[in-house]
């Protein structure tokens, strides 16, 4: 009966994102927040494993206190309990630092067999959290898992690669990051939503995890996010005059000048 940890994150719903036409910056105010899509797959996979093999699945999230509806959603789907890691000091943490916060919380939660993460988040899409966390906890890691089977204390996983499928196995404890293809996340029924209210939600701050506030947030993060802006695509409106041969020659010249060819 595996003891599982599922890391998930709250992101803005990208379908509602708008771009400020003057600054090209993303306008995120007032946008619905949701659990990152791939993390929903990780939650679903943990629940499926639990349904087949028993065990317990704990969701862990670094976020603002306002992310409680997302926690409730994860619990409604079937996680047994959740752990919210929330501290003003965490603001501005990069992926490496979030991995450090998660690692501290997972150590505090006690022994585990598996950690499941989404392959990447639907906002930053760095796909670095799983690998960083595995390194922090000194675990074997299976990334891009598109199918997972448990056999005793072994995990057999199919990895979706660009040029094929790789089948790998690892012993507990192990970290897996899962792809979107691994499953279809379930929707909770009303009964499950009501039952989720009774499930345990732990809330820990930096001090509870033994983390110095200097080691987290902006101060503790080697990567500083300067600006997020939408890519601007504009037509150059160059009109190629002359004969076909002349126009083709000029097109080649322009493309060479732009560094395209």
Residues found near other proteins in the complex (CB under 8 A): 69, 72-73, 76, 187-191, 193-194, 197
Smallest separation, CB 181 to other proteins (Å) = 17
Closest separation in Å from C-beta 59 to other proteins: 15
Query: What are the DSSP E strand ranges found in the chain?
Result: 3-8, 10-12, 18-19, 26-27, 33-35, 56-62, 81-85, 114-118, 141-151, 154-161, 164-171, 174-178, 200-204
Residue 211 Cβ vs other proteins, minimum distance, rounded to whole Å: 30
- Distance, in Å, from the CA atom of 200 to the CA atom of 208, rounded to the nearest integer, reads 17
**Residue nearer to other proteins on the CB measure, 23 or 189:** 189
Q: Shortest approach of other proteins to residue 188 CB, angstroms?
A: 6
Closest to 43 measured CA to CA, from 180, 158, 160 = 180
Instruction: Report whether 99 contacts 136 (CB < 8 A).
Output: yes
Return the number of the residue (171 or 189) whose C-beta is nearest other proteins. 189
Tokens describing residue 203: 């809330």
Question: Rg (Cα) of the chain, in Å, rounded?
Answer: 22
Our measurement of the distance from residue 120's CA atom to the centroid of its chain's CA atoms, rounded to an integer in Å, reads 4
Sequence-ordered list of residues with C-beta below 8 angstroms from that of 14, at least 6 positions apart, any chain: 122, 123
Select 71 or 139, whichever has its Cβ closest to other proteins.
71
Question: How far apart are CB 69 and other proteins at their closest, in Å?
Answer: 6
DSSP 111-171: --SEEEEESS-TTT----HHHHHHHHHT--EEEEEEEEEEETTEEEEEEEETTEEEEEEEE
Do 100 and 211 touch, CB atoms closer than 8 A? yes
What value, to the nearest 5°, has the Cα angle with vertex 213 and ends 104 and 64? 75
When the beta carbons of 43 and 134 are compared against other proteins, the nearer one is 43
- Taking the complex as a whole, the smallest distance from the CB of residue 81 to other proteins amounts, in Å, to 17
Which of residues 184 and 253 has its CB atom nearest to other proteins in the complex? 184
DSSP class of residue 179? -
- Quick one: 188 or 215, whose CB is closer to other proteins? 188
Q: How far is the CB of 2 from other proteins (least distance, A)?
A: 27
Residue with Cβ nearer other proteins (68 or 205):
68
């Amino acid at each position: 009966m595996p003891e599982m940890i599922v890391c998930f994150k709250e992101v803005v719903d990208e379908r509602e994102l708008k771009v400020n036409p003057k600054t090209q910056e993303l306008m995120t105010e007032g946008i619905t927040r949701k659990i990152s899509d791939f993390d929903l797959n990780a939650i679903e996979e943990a629940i499926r494993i639990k349904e087949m093999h028993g065990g317990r699945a704990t969701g862990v999230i670094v976020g603002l206190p306002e992310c409680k509806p997302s926690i409730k959603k994860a619990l409604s789907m079937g996680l047994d309990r959740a752990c919210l890691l929330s501290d003003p000091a965490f603001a501005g943490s990069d992926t490496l630092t979030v991995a450090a916060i998660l690692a501290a919380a997972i150590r505090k939660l006690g022994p585990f067999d598996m950690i499941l993460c989404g392959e990447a988040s639907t906002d930053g899409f760095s796909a670095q959290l799983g690998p960083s966390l595995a390194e922090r906890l000194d675990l074997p890691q299976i990334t891009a898992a598109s199918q997972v089977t448990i056999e005793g204390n072994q995990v057999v996983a199919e990895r979706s690669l660009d040029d094929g499928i790789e089948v790998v196995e690892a012993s507990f404890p192990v970290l897996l990051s899962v792809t979107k293809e691994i499953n279809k996340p379930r929707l909770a029924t009303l009964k499950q939503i009501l039952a989720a209210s009774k499930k345990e939600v732990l809330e820990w701050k930096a001090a509870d995890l033994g983390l110095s506030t200097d080691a987290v947030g902006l101060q503790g993060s080697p990567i500083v996010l300067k600006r997020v802006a939408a890519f601007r695509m504009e037509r150059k409106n160059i009109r190629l005059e002359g004969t076909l041969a002349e126009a083709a020659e000029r097109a080649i010249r322009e493309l060479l000048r732009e560094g395209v060819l």
